[in-house]
Homo-oligomer: A and B are copies of this chain.
């Protein structure tokens, strides 16, 4: 059981929220890839907190410091190690949580699993902050994929009961994905974005939080990536996506809507388009028999509402074994869905690249 992912490229993530630093090692990258650091900073910034009222006011620069594997902005083929210092940690805020686990957080099972030795400050290694190295790794992966003609992008499909327009699964342009993956609160519809921001602000005022759904796509993928049984493209992507804290569901193409479809509705017929085999529809979300079909890869990830809310909650004191009312102080996002968009993109990009190496 480890904080590591990958078969051909290994991503090893380390760090605790209020320790000295967080970071990652990416082992197996090809040599000779020129990295555009500005593009990496864009993704890091999309995930970083503190940009508007929809996010936690914790301000951190989250500047990734590459300490090996890159020389003059070009990968050397040696493991790429990256470190982000923790500069703004306020561990005092969390002192009352030591013995009273926060509902729907990792606190209680981690306490049992690690016999109380885990670093509980800010969630320790379980903090959402550990997604920063994942976004970094994803940003690197995206640049390599881009060189192979593959583009990954995602948007907020839903927050609370507000839904964005969905991707047209069989007709997604690289331009749309690039646009979505360059901004901080990615939606297709500007109107939906307005309503989502309102829903988040509403939750914030009620000392509550809201969840949502992120829809992600990748275009330009060759046919035949992945294999059947235990190496399906769905298995590999889902395995990484479920490593993102708060992701509780992953679905490809029509996903759970397949339940009410018939075969004649759900099957994606073939046609010839520009002399090539093409699909007339893409209900399968770009994956057939566990392999990519050539159509856009389309998936959804369900994000649960931020568990940290300011309202009093029922918990227990693990020392006295008595019930106790808990009030979580500190800084919290009323909705992490917008910040999770680049994280979902990163997981999809990294897992895809790993399958293609």
A307 neighbours in B (Cβ, 8 Å): 263, 266-267
A117 touches B32 (CB 8 A): yes
Cross-chain contact of A316 among B77, B110, B211, B272 (Cβ < 8 A): B272
A130: nearest chain-B partner, CB-CB: B229
Give complex CA distance A249, B307 in Å. 24
CB 8 Å contact bits of A246-287 with B (1 = contact, 0 = none) = 011111111110111111111111111001010010011100
Give complex CA distance A15, B161 in Å. 47
A14 touches B262 (CB 8 A): no
Binds B, one of A51-59, A100-108, A168-176: A100-108
Given known contacts A268-B103, A269-B314, A28 and B12 CB-to-CB distance under 8 angstroms: no
CB 8 Å contact bits of A201-242 with B (1 = contact, 0 = none) = 001001011111100000000011011111110111011101
Chain A contributes a number of interface residues (CB within 8 A of B) equal to 144
Given known contacts A3-B230, A20-B68, A115 and B314 CB-to-CB distance under 8 angstroms: no
Determine if A243 is an interface residue (Cβ-Cβ < 8 Å): yes
Give complex CA distance A308, B238 in Å. 26
Interface residue ranges of A40-75 to B (CB < 8 Å): 65-69, 71, 74-75
B258 touches A125 (CB 8 A): no
CB 8 Å contact bits of A1-28 with B (1 = contact, 0 = none) = 1111100001111111001111101011
Q: Rank and list the top 6 A-B pairs by shortest CB-CB distance, nearest first.
A: A106-B289, A113-B224, A249-B251, A78-B125, A209-B263, A109-B291
By a beta-carbon cutoff of 8 Å, the part of chain A in contact with chain B is 1-5, 10-16, 19-23, 25, 27-28, 31-32, 65-69, 71, 74-81, 83, 101, 103-110, 112-115, 117-119, 124-126, 130, 158-161, 203, 206, 208-213, 223-224, 226-232, 234-236, 238-240, 242-243, 245, 247-256, 258-272, 275, 277, 280, 283-285, 288-294, 300, 302-309, 311, 313-316, 318, 321-323, 355
Apart from A248-B252, A272-B316, what are 5 other A-B pairs with CB-CB below 8 Å?
A14-B78, A16-B69, A32-B115, A77-B118, A284-B304
